[in-house]
Structure 1
Amino acid sequence: MHRSPRLPLALALALALAGCVPGILDPIISGGISGEASESGPSPVSSTDSDGSIGDPGDTCTTCDSATEAVFVVPPDPDDTCTTCDGGTEAVFIVPPGPPPACDVYAQDCPSGFKCTAEGPPPLDSESITCSPIVAEPDQAGEPCQVLVEGHFGPDTCDIGLFCDDVDPQTSTGTCAVMCQGSAGEPLCDVGSVCLGYSEIPLCIPRCDPLVQDCPAGDSCVYAGGPGFVCLEIHDLPANQLFEGCGDHWQCAPGLSCVAGEVAEECVIGVDGPGCCSPFCDLSSPSCPGLGQQCRAFYEPGEAPSGLENVGVCALP
């Protein structure tokens, strides 16, 4: 872990996503981001023989002119269920479906009309990933979406390659987020976003500028380790405000970073965690609200990504 000799150890930020810190002040992040189906249908059809007995299951009744002839769908297993029973001699049996087919969320290798996504109730794990039908007129990236089963991860109304993310548990509505392509070893996203894993669902998360806070409403521009700054949903609303205690970056309101140690005289450290929500600042035009605070460089000299050279955070010297 990189530490600056200019700062006391108490000012170092803890970073769980990357395990190391590229800058003078490290952010506190305690957690990560946020069988083929059996075909239902009729089984082999049999007909009655001329003596009134049922013929071989392999026989097929193509014409049924006799009043005594009946059509049967032969149940392949005693556990099958009779779904329609129209008479004493006529019945239709449906084969119970098998487990949903497994698939690759990166490759999107499901049959036409299906997408590889997460379904079912929490927890989200490998058993949640399956081929799910794509709804008619599906929602596109960035559009509102609906989870069709309350309390589940899916199915949802997003198109292939998309996942209904940031879902409101009260309304089951969210936003269609783009899933990473490529492979787990080499994930691919469009320019301007980075692939971050939400357990089994890897999503392309937009990069952002912490000084501009150019994220959608409800998100905050926070540090995510190696990928730099990305837009993440603010958890535990209402968000923690200036100088309130925190344990994670996404607990703080936009424009604030969760910083550990002696950050400001005004900090109120409490049950929310060991950190304090302190503002980002611009090194080229430094200004900090706390008594005795200074705008300290977020990155070590020469290590800031292009366009983020002026990012700082307010802290005590």
Structure 2
Amino acid sequence: MPNLLVTGGAGFIGGNFVHYWGQQHPDDAIIVLDCLTYAGNRSTIADVEQASLIVGDIRDADLVEKLLRKHGIATIVHFAAESHVDRSITGPDAFIDTNILGTNSLLKAARKVWLDDGRERDHRFHHISTDEVYGSLGPSDPAFAETTQYQPNSPYSASKAASDHLVRAYHHTYGLQVTTTNCSNNYGPYHYPEKLIPLFMLNALSGRPLPIYGDGMNVRDWLYVEDHCRGIEAALLNGTPGETYNIGGGEELPNMTVIDRICAEVDRAFAEIEGLAERYPHAPAAKGRATSELKTFVEDRKGHDRRYAIDESKARAQLGYVPRHDFENGLRNTLRWYLDNEAWWKPLLKA
């Protein structure tokens, strides 16, 4: 698949995928379509030689058709989405527009070029989704499988569920060759600092509170973003059209455990890395105190799902997917990346 169109490729997971694909497939051209909303950053992929950034909207079907034809693209990897649950609660319209109407626009363009015009018989539309479409699990419930009934509980997850159904429908109705992956909570480099792990890391460095929703015991499966990219690659190369695969990290942890590990990792970094206290003088760790003193409990999020867990056995058996990073290793890599790449994240805090 020499030419790919990656939507949302200047965002967090999409940007990491562009880096990963460029390293693993150096001869492939990567066309990135991103409208550069607050979470998109052209600097994320500026050093990927094979990547060409087109600033545009996935809802512009004419633009997508032109890109598919001009570049001879036979593979779309669709990341573009509004993804922050809190933002979906206060402003759901943007999630409907991008996640549902945007996905439908992409599917229409792909169908027109690949099927109606008959230009590309061998093609793939790969859709990236989330475990949140399955709803919330009780403490003893089995993990989400690909056959779990959809029960989305937020405007964000409802919009992603709708987009999943559209992708499935285009396969069964029109014969579009699609695959879908539903992933668990990603973390790693280039993560916009509104999400839990980068937010708490950067707050810890500046001495700001670490706001913990509710009792802090909501459980998530944590997936290092590079492992997610490897799972997507496996689905593209080995996945069966029409199938869905769950991609998880095998690290099911309560938020409080994650927060405690972030605090411990920040404390460790200040003990091991010379000069951090001078760079971040407001951090408790710069004064020899524990980062955990910043922990603050706040009112719980509306409709906050209690537990997510991913059963990735299908991806392991059919795609050969196995995550390579445990949470301790991935968290350390993530913090060290933020410490080494201040020029990337500091401007975002001023936006």
Please indicate the TM-score interval, normalised by the length of the shorter structure: under 0.3
Question: Which structure: greater helix fraction?
Answer: 2
In the superposition, the TM-score normalised over structure 1's length comes to 0.20
Question: Which structure: greater strand fraction?
Answer: 1
Q: Which has the larger radius of gyration?
A: 1
